[in-house]
Amino acid sequence: MNIKQLFVSGISHTILLSIASTTTLSIAIPSSDAQTATLTAKKPTSQINLRLAPTTKSNALNYAKSGDRIIIRNQIKGTDGYIWYFVKLEQSGVTGWVRGDLIAKQNTQKNTQTSKTITVSSDNYSLDNREALKQESVILQQSQSSYTSNQQSQQAYLPKRKYTSEETNYFKEIALGAEFTTNPSLIRKWQGDLRIQVIGSPTSEDLKTLKTVTDEINNLISGINLKIVDNSPNVKIHFVPVSEFKKYEPNYQPGNDGYAWVNWNQNNVIYSANILIAKTGVNQKERSHLIREELTQSLGLLRDSYKYKNSIFYQPWTDINQYSQLDKTLIQMLYQPEILPGMTKSQVANFLK
């Protein structure tokens, strides 16, 4: 039996929450965070890079054009002598570091370093926007805490440990892009917790496997948490007959006993997933394997490989029910804070060198 899972990017949707509570994020940013400015370059058609760190040696995560309006969030003096600004593009919301000579400020307000609290009401604020705000906060705080003017800028962004060429190559194969799509090969990952709701008729062993896998993933990574919930899910896992798969996921492709549809937004942040597990036609061991594989790949590890038979990402059909050491490393690599959504293959390779 050769069963293949399909992972495709869906269209970004805005999900409104109606919660009688208020979320407060305390972010150490300049008081001039609302200061607007414009990107500028000698050539109007020039591409202006938005970088991971305040140095031209850092990876360019995104780019903008001369004339694009920005919001300045923070500033720091780089080792190159320039003032660098952490900015947010007004139109797209993309963030990154830009060198000061590429920015035309619209006022001369003095930039004083103070702490500001941003309060977000959950009553009428979209989930996508809340997650985007959290993502921006994380990126900014990582940059502020790990970079100082008397350090070599790249030192703050070195991997937590040195990875082998085997680990690096396998990560690039599994974590970049998605199978059966024409989408660019970019990093896609969650920035918030996975709230998993069980639907259908799972067996007691199914539920045990799901709990085991979520516990294992939570022990491997930090920054996000997987939890099983009764309501307000952003991940649904359906235990239903294959004949009903299309009913629960319109994008289902026939011939698969396990299937996952993953959605990400324009910033390559995954915000929802729909997982289908066959209730009939497979035995318990095979179904437990599908639970582990589909949930793991929904983290953003969206591709399979023919390389390692003991890997959960092995392309041909298997009934493996545990992670290999290499699988565990890939999960940890993806959720290093410095591996950001939208990174290209070359950016990932440069970071992991």
pLDDT tens-digit readout, 249-270 = 888 888 888 888 899 998 889 9
Average of pLDDT values for 61-76? 85
Cβ-proximal residues to 234 (8 Å cutoff; 6+ apart), any chain: 15, 127, 192, 194, 195, 271, 272, 273
> Distance between CA atoms of 167 and 143, rounded to whole angstroms?
26
| 3-class secondary structure, 277 | strand
| Cα(96)–Cα(58) distance, integer angstroms | 11
Pairwise pLDDT comparison (229 vs 135), residue with the higher score: 229
Mean residue pLDDT of the chain comes to: 76
Better-predicted residue by pLDDT, 26 or 86: 86
211-257 residue pLDDT tens: 999 999 999 998 889 999 999 999 999 999 999 998 988 888 888 88
Q: Is the pLDDT of residue 149 over 50?
A: no
Mean pLDDT computed over 274-284? 92
Determine which of 97-111, 149-163, 276-290 has the lowest per-residue pLDDT on average: 149-163
Kindly state the DSSP code that residue 7 receives in the 8-state scheme.
-
Cα distances (angstroms) measured from residue 130 to each of 119, 120, 192, 246 = 11, 8, 10, 31
User: Is the distance from CB of 54 to CB of 152 less than 8 angstroms?
Assistant: no
The pTM (predicted TM-score) of the whole model is 0.58
Q: How confident is the model at residue 131 (pLDDT cuts 50, 70, 90)?
A: low
Res 128 pLDDT > 60: no
Asked whether the beta carbons of 165 and 346 are under 8 A apart, the reply is: no
Q: What is the pLDDT of residue 304?
A: 86
